[in-house]
Amino acid sequence: MKNAEAVVAKLSEAAIRRYGMIEAHDRILIGASGGKDSTSLAYDLSVKRRWWPLPFDIAALHIATDVGDSQDIAPLSALFADWGIPFESVFVPVRERIKEGHTMNCYWCSTQRRTELIRFAMERGFNKIALGHHLDDIVETLLMNMLHKGEFSTMPPVVRYRKYPLAVVRPLALLEERQILAFAAEKGFSSITCTCGFDGASRRREVRAKLAALTGGSSEQKRNLFAAMSNVNVEYLA
């Protein structure tokens, strides 16, 4: 196993164990955006499925939309086939569904895609949805929620839905984006993965720059921000 792959394998294993993400006979649906994160996640779970002490199943769902540039999913589909991961793609007209008087934004698109993932998972008997969000995503959302909502909250590593017999898990929660980029480069799939081209993602770009300014680029400080979410000292708050 190469260097970056070992890092991904080890830190995703740590997250899965720490947060109890995999239980025996889980049927896990991977939300495959076509980006480097969920593609790395898919590969990692396809390897873990072969040796993990508890049996579990995986499949991937790609959701094509009318937002951003359209992506040729043939290479992605081929990659998943290589890795032995059942792969389907459905189209969701995200832009078309916008209600009158509203404009397109990242929150709307992600809600629409999440709804489709849940619908698909329920119809096909999956009990977990695995998403490719990593530590940087989680810390960025923590900062955004603090700065814009005045709330200490983020995308947690595990969310159990109340309305559905479903949980969302984020096995890459302990991985920094740079570690995933290194893995995608090492594995050679950087060129076929895509990034959303919708320019409403500016708030995300902005918070990325803010996170860098806040930590001065220090991984330790970024990981401390992540740790703070599990270390709330109510005696020293208002």
Q: Does 2 bind its own copies (CB under 8 A)?
A: no
Site for its own copies in 170-209 (CB under 8 A): 173
DSSP calls for 105-133: -HHHHHHHHHHHHHHHHHHHT--EEE---
Residue type, 135: L
Taking CA 53 as the corner, what is the angle to CA 48 and CA 58, rounded to the nearest 5 degrees? 45
Q: Which of 14, 73, 122, 143 binds its own copies (CB under 8 A)?
A: 143
Q: Which of 6, 78, 147, 185 binds its own copies (CB under 8 A)?
A: 147
Q: Does 224 bind its own copies (CB under 8 A)?
A: yes
Cα 50 to Cα 54: distance, rounded to the nearest angstrom = 10
Mode of pairing for the β-strands spanning 56-65 and 87-92: parallel
Please, what is the minimum distance in Å from the beta carbon of residue 224 to its own copies? 4
- The helix/strand/coil state of 189 is coil
Q: Does 231 bind its own copies (CB under 8 A)?
A: yes
Please, what is the minimum distance in Å from the beta carbon of residue 144 to its own copies? 10
Which strand ranges, in their side-by-side order, compose the sheet holding 128-130? 87-92, 56-65, 26-31, 128-130, 167-169, 158-160
CA distances from 12 to 46, 52, 114, 141, 171 (A): 12, 12, 22, 20, 5
Q: Which of 156, 190, 194, 204 binds its own copies (CB under 8 A)?
A: 156
Residues 6 or more apart whose CB falls under 8 angstroms from that of 212 comprise none
Q: Which is nearer to its own copies, 46 or 145 (CB)?
A: 145
Q: Which is nearer to its own copies, 104 or 147 (CB)?
A: 147
Q: Which is nearer to its own copies, 24 or 234 (CB)?
A: 234
Strand partners, 28: 58, 128
* Residues 59, 85 contacting (CB under 8 angstroms): yes
Q: Which stretch binds its own copies (CB under 8 A): 113-121, 128-136, 146-154, 194-202?
A: 146-154
Q: Does 24 bind its own copies (CB under 8 A)?
A: no
Q: Does 14 bind its own copies (CB under 8 A)?
A: no
Q: Which is nearer to its own copies, 51 or 236 (CB)?
A: 236
Q: Does 158 bind its own copies (CB under 8 A)?
A: yes
Q: Does 23 bind its own copies (CB under 8 A)?
A: no
Q: Which stretch binds its own copies (CB under 8 A): 40-48, 71-79, 180-188, 218-226?
A: 218-226
Q: Does 225 bind its own copies (CB under 8 A)?
A: yes
Footprint of its own copies (CB under 8 A): 19, 143, 145-159, 173, 210, 213-216, 221, 223-238
